[in-house]
A and B are shown apart, each in its own frame.
Chain A
């Protein structure tokens, strides 16, 4: 069809310089393009831009959410680690305290035992001293009587003169105590 017209047109000699525009073509181009432009500007471009913006926002929101979750987890981990360290510290402190207390108890017990031993020894010493004193006293009385009796018998005279007798005995005992016996 096209070539039919082509040859018809050529035959009729309607040569038209293709560089010279037809005004109706200029006009219709502008009108059609103008309508397309306004339709795109009003109905298409805003929707595309809104979709792009929404998508960017969604992706950025997702990243932000993930970041906040990560931060939360980090904080929780740090908190747990802190708690663990605290617990370890506490345990160490309690152990140390127990050791100190143990040592203190041992020391106290040792001290008590020492004191008890000292007390027992002192008590024994006092008792011994007292008994010795008692023995010395009774011995002294007996020895006096015995010696006087013995001496009376030997001498054959009564030494019942109390005054003299007691003087002799005292002297003897004093010598005895001084470690230098008067009678050899």
Chain B
């Protein structure tokens, strides 16, 4: 927790920087330092699986409260992300993946606002890269399996309904945007939102305490204001945390749908 005493140690205010994300290992296994975000990954996976598993364990026709909640959660991703985007013909195969992606990211994002965790897992770029890279492998593999390697590259690179004279210009562009850029934007969108949101929160919180305890004078007015703003920003962050998980899963579904499509 952020305490005034830790701030008073420095006479001058140190704005929180990228280094606040470099947490020391909680414990070490051999040479691998296990940090808090790593543990959060595991907790998130256990909670997501545990919730869904317990909810549907009985699988009765008339659901109880827990089963109803589980069905709503699962059905939300299955229907509004999977079926609506990929189409009712193919979506079943991808439902487990989309459900895992959405709830895994959602919970890991929400950790930023849950007491005791208070750290967004995906503000560690490596973790965002991992999921984005996996999604890149999946949608390309799905496309290549359906259309063949060349057929798939043609599907993604050659726009239909455009005169061949434009191909020299459009084909590299399409290839670049559909094959190369997608995983990068997918990863950076998630990573940067979580990174920036957390920095903002820490800035408001530590700054507020600094103003109250160290600055004096106008600091007694500005400090509490900053803390109130920190609360406001927390709520904004919760919205962003949900949205980023939703967008990540939605884009995954769209990429898969695009790879399965018959025409560009």
Residues of A within 8 A of B (CB): 1-7, 9-10, 14-30, 32-33, 35-37, 39-41, 43-45, 47-52, 54-55, 58
Question: B88 interface residue, CB < 8 Å from A?
Answer: no
B64 proximal to A (CB < 8 A) = no
Other A-B contacts than A18-B125, A24-B32, A44-B96, 12 sampled, CB-CB below 8 A, are: A3-B6, A9-B20, A17-B18, A28-B41, A29-B41, A29-B131, A30-B130, A33-B134, A37-B97, A40-B99, A44-B56, A47-B57
A45 touches B206 (CB 8 A): no
CA distance A51 to B99 in the complex (A): 17
CB <8 Å contact, B61 and A55: yes
Report how far A20 CA is from B58 CA in the complex, Å: 45
* Interchain nearest-CB distance for B112 vs A (Å): 12
**Bound Cα distance from A19 to B95, whole angstroms:** 31
- In the complex, 18 of the A-B residue pairs with CB atoms within 8 angstroms, ordered by the A residue number, are A2-B2, A5-B23, A6-B19, A6-B20, A18-B125, A23-B126, A25-B126, A25-B130, A26-B127, A26-B133, A33-B45, A37-B97, A43-B53, A45-B95, A48-B59, A48-B74, A49-B95, A51-B60
Give the contacting residue for A7; candidates B6, B71, B75, B195; CB below 8 A: B6
How far is it, in angstroms, between the C-alpha of A58 and the C-alpha of B62 when the chains are bound? 11
Tell me whether B179 is interfacial, beta carbon within 8 Å: no
B52 with A40: CB separation less than 8 A: yes
Alpha-carbon separation in the docked complex, A46 to B133 (Å): 26
Say yes or no: A30 contacts B20, CB within 8 Å: no
Least CB distance, A84 to chain B, in whole angstroms = 43
Closest residue on chain A to residue B199 by CB atoms:
A18
Partner of B130 from the list A9, A26, A41, A52 (CB cut-off 8 Å) is A26
Q: Given that A7-B6, A33-B100, A55-B61 are contacting pairs, would A16 and B19 also be in contact in the complex, using a CB cutoff of 8 Å?
A: yes
Q: Is the CB of A36 within 8 A of B104?
A: yes
Q: Is B129 an interface residue (CB 8 A)?
A: yes
The 8 A CB mask of B59-89 against A (1 = contact, 0 = none) is 1110000000011001100100000000000
List residues of chain A with CB within 8 A of the CB of B104.
33, 36
| Contacting residue for B49 out of A15, A29, A40, A50, CB 8 A | A40
Q: How far is the CB of B115 from chain A (nearest CB, A)?
A: 13
Beta-carbon contact of A15 and B100 below 8 Å: no
Q: Does B215 contact A (CB under 8 A)?
A: no
Roughly how many angstroms separate A9 CA and B133 CA in the complex, as a whole number? 30
Chain B residues positioned under 8 Å from A22 (CB to CB)? 124, 126
Residue numbers in A under 8 Å from B195 (CB-CB) = 18
What residues of B have a CB within 8 angstroms of the CB of A6 in the complex? Answer: 16, 19-20
Q: Give complex CA distance A2, B3 in Å.
A: 9
Minimum distance in angstroms from B252 CB to a CB of chain A: 12
Question: Shortest Cβ distance from A35 into chain B, in angstroms?
Answer: 6
**One of B7-15, B156-164, B239-247 at the interface:** B7-15
Please indicate the chain B residues that have their CB under 8 angstroms from the CB of A48 in the complex.
Answer: 52, 56, 59, 70-71, 74-75, 78
Tell me the bound Cα distance from A9 to B23 in angstroms: 9
Known contacts A36-B100, A40-B99; A1 and B45 CB within 8 A of each other:
no
Contact yes or no, B19 A9, CB < 8 A: yes
B20, B23, B59: the one within 8 Å of A50 (CB): B59
B258 interfacial contact with A, CB 8 Å:
no
Do B23 and A3 have beta carbons less than 8 Å apart? Answer: no
Cα A103 to Cα B133 with chains together (Å): 105
Asked if B38 lies at the interface with its beta carbon under 8 angstroms from chain A, I say: yes
Which chain B residue shows the least CB distance to A32?
B41
In the complex, chain B residues whose CB is within 8 Å of the CB of A26: 126-127, 129-130, 133
Say how far A118's CB is from chain B's closest CB, in angstroms.
Answer: 94
Residues of B within 8 A of A41 (CB): 96-97, 100
Is A10 a contact partner of B206 (Cβ separation < 8 A)? no
Choose among A28, A43, A55 the residue with the greatest number of B CB atoms under 10 Å from its CB: A28
Q: How far is the CA of A41 from the CA of B49 in the complex (A)?
A: 10
